[in-house]
Amino acid sequence: MAVNYVVFFICALICLLGATGVVFSRNPVHAALSLVATLFGIAVLFVQQSAHFLAAVQVIVYTGAIVVLILFVMMLLGVDQEEDIDEEPLLGVRAAGTIVATILLLGLLAVFFLQSNRSTLVTGERSVTAPLSVDASLDSTKGVAETAGPDNMATLGRLLFTRYVFAFEVTAALLTIAVVGAVVLARRPDRLQPVPDEPESMDDDFMAALESEAGH
């Protein structure tokens, strides 16, 4: 029992420190690496909630691939470029960001503190507290993790291959499009510029070109 608390607080600390690092790092690569820490902390929190699949996705896709992609983009643009953080690219961005963040924080706190009368706050028939498990009843005395149990991944697999089998196969098409799109767009033509206008008459332009050539 105590382990859970310890794990939670350590991971929460990792998440928060990572997030702070993302915001305050001067070097973009350090910011990206801080993001890894945050995502990893979240992954552990997912494990704690018995959301093993989400934890795997978090580590394999987000930490493993997305952050790598972010780093690649930085390398493409050049890591040695330092951004002047004190300069606002758009006027009022910082103020707007602060306001939005404050509202978000207040909203989260509201959910947290007003949870006792959840039914009025979250209006749905089944709110996010419903477990994914096969035959777990909606027992409000138990938490998510207890009812879902460690067999979360299996439940997900069963659902994915029965009810959502069509959606699952469509995902493959989506991935194919991503590959084709990436290849098509990464293909660089010899020159990227507005295609010069077609001459309306070959002869005139030929003469014009000759003249301009002679003028040089």
Q: Decide: is 53 part of the binding site for other proteins (CB under 8 A).
A: yes
Q: For residue 38, which of 55, 21, 54 has the smallest C-alpha distance? A: 21
Site for other proteins in 57-96 (CB under 8 A): 57, 60-61, 64-66, 68-69, 72-73, 75-76, 78-81
**31 or 74, CB closer to other proteins?**
74
Which amino acid type is present at position 117? N
DSSP state at residue 124? S
40 in Cβ contact with 67 (< 8 Å): no
Distance CA 164, CA 170 (A): 10
Q: Decide: is 158 part of the binding site for other proteins (CB under 8 A).
A: yes
Smallest distance, other proteins to C-beta of residue 86, A: 23
Site for other proteins in 125-154 (CB under 8 A): 125-134, 136-140, 142-146, 149-151, 153-154
Q: Decide: is 180 part of the binding site for other proteins (CB under 8 A).
A: yes
Q: Decide: is 16 part of the binding site for other proteins (CB under 8 A).
A: no
Burial class of residue 66, CB neighbours in 10 A (0-12, 13-18, 19+) = middle
Q: Decide: is 161 part of the binding site for other proteins (CB under 8 A).
A: yes
